[in-house]
Structure 1
Amino acid sequence: MMGQFDKNALPVAIIGGGPVGLAAAAHLIKKGEKFIVLEAGESVGSSILEWGHVQMFSPWQYNIDQAAKELLENAGWTSPDEEALPTGRELVEKYLLPLSNLPEIKEQIMLQAKVVRVAKKAHDKLKTGKRDTVPFQLYVEANGDTTVIEAKAVIDSSGTWTNPNPMLSNGIWTNAERQLHNEIHYGIPNVVQLENRYQNKTTLVIGSGHSAINALLGLATLQQKYSDTKIYWVLRKKQIHEVYGGQENDGLAARGELGIRIQQLVESGRINILTPFHINGVYPTNDKITVVGELNGEEFTIGDIDEMVVSTGFRPDTSFLNEVRINLDSTVESIDTLAPLIDPNTLLG
């Protein structure tokens, strides 16, 4: 017989050392709970650093957790200007790194520690038994070895950045898209650093959100320097003006400014816009890329593409949670209470 474990002896395991994971740690400290933070990257905020060149449209006041702020200020930290707009790198360097270096947090962080499986001790997913009386077991890859860590609870703050959506409109990954990984950037490329990659090339940007808009604005700046740079923008909106947002009336001024700037770029005629375009396939063709799909319901092909920027969003990867019982919204794959706040179908009415 397996007896009930001592919950006070085990920590809460936090998966991910980003803003949410470290905020969770701060709240657990306030409650006097033990915890361990397991971060797959080489630094806290490692995913954010991949878009560190991008300026956020939400000011500092919306990006600092209150419990974390209290811990930092008790250690002599001074908050940045609440109205200023940080870049991703500044968010890490001015907030997450100081937070992670607080002694009460630093000692509980494991870097380069990737959680590959979570289970209940001696209970597979189908076995109920005394499931609530046994700890979680996290299988963690670190330093070339796999370690099993036991925890009384698990907080998954791993985020979605490492699991981008594919370009096909039906959400399916194809072998051809995977084979073209050297020519595809998912998210927001740092065009300044990658100037040699994009200059005087034909680049296709896919997506209608702020990531796609940032990529287009970066490429347009490069185009002013290298006139043979050609830009296609593929999106699914019925009308291009749908992406402009609130502009001057936006609750976040910087977000509104993005809408203003992309409208100006569209009206300049410097980018080739295809909408509504639904991608059905992508193929390598003589050192170029060919994209096929439907434009306004009619078959359409785009050829001679050199590079692609896919900004079609991201999804959580829950594959490592297959042996624990989780309850997720069937559409956006978040917890049920959060789903209505982020479901685009709900937000668009």
Structure 2
Amino acid sequence: MCDTANAADLLHWYDAHARVLPWRISPAAVNVAGTPPDPYRVWLSEVMLQQTTVASVKSYFERFTTLWPTVGDLAAAEDSQVMGEWAGLGYYARARNLLKCARVVAGDYNGAFPDTREALQNLPGIGPYTAAAIAAIAFDRSEVVVDGNVERVMARIHDIHTPLPAAKPALTQAAAKLTPKKRPGDYAQAVMDLGATICTPKSPACGICPWMKACKARARGTASELPRKTPKSPKPTRLGIAYVVLRDDGAFLLERRPDKGLLGGMLGWPGSDWSEAPSPSPPIKAEWTLLAEEVRHTFTHFHLRLQITIALVNTDAQPLTGEFLPKPQFRPSELPTVMRKVYDLAHGALKNMP
């Protein structure tokens, strides 16, 4: 190891210590056996990993690739099934764009992903980071791949104290200088692995880091302080009302949310607006019971507190909004997380109603 960070040292470490992940081809398989990464699996994993942890994504990835082994299979899937399988991963716009992208690749590219960052970035739901990651990992393009792990590693290696997000250009420039022409895909994954397993946010294991001699923050004792971040403003809290209606034949009243916005295109319970003072908007004439417990859920930009009101109705009842979903078609597991929380609280109360 030398006193200057270089790709060779990191790749040597990666060859011995690469994480085993369901979407990853090992460095030995790539470089010894000549097994190329599957662009479909690389793309799918990168979309799932946006703002989601590796631990959370593994089971979803394995289920998706079992149900839809190729991009063509996914493109032909029913929207509702894909959205249902996505439930729990959050950020549902990603799932909508996932389907759009799969259908563009299947229809316009004959099922083969384009192999350059520029072309990839033209596909639905693929931004600059994801395009660079796919180009590097799937096609071994020498692209600069910068996620949160990479930012942390670069901030420490170069002892950069400018707070994020203002530091992003400097960190990207530092990452670009280290990105090699040879094995850029392995290198991109190696830096991510280094950040995930050694150069961790808290208590970094500097003593076993392949770049420890080159790390300026380690030498100056500032590693645990970096990267610095501009304090976030506190999240506001919004209130809402969810209406859970059970018909006497076992059907639930549900409505599909607009394609744009939070939980876009997902089935959920009819409800009020989400605001500081929501306006009641019962979806059907009924005798309502307000539950003592409320649902609490946190989105990216706000906290949500939902009151739950429930009602039993007969088969003649006509809703003002939404539609009754027959009992055999209702699967709580396909609801988005916040709506499933509502169901979990309401279900028991409905069963105990006279």
- TM-score bracket for this pair, using the shorter chain length: under 0.3
Q: TM-score scaled to structure 1, two decimals?
A: 0.25
Write 1 or 2 for the structure with the bigger share of helix: 2
Larger Rg: 2
Q: TM-score scaled to structure 2, two decimals?
A: 0.25
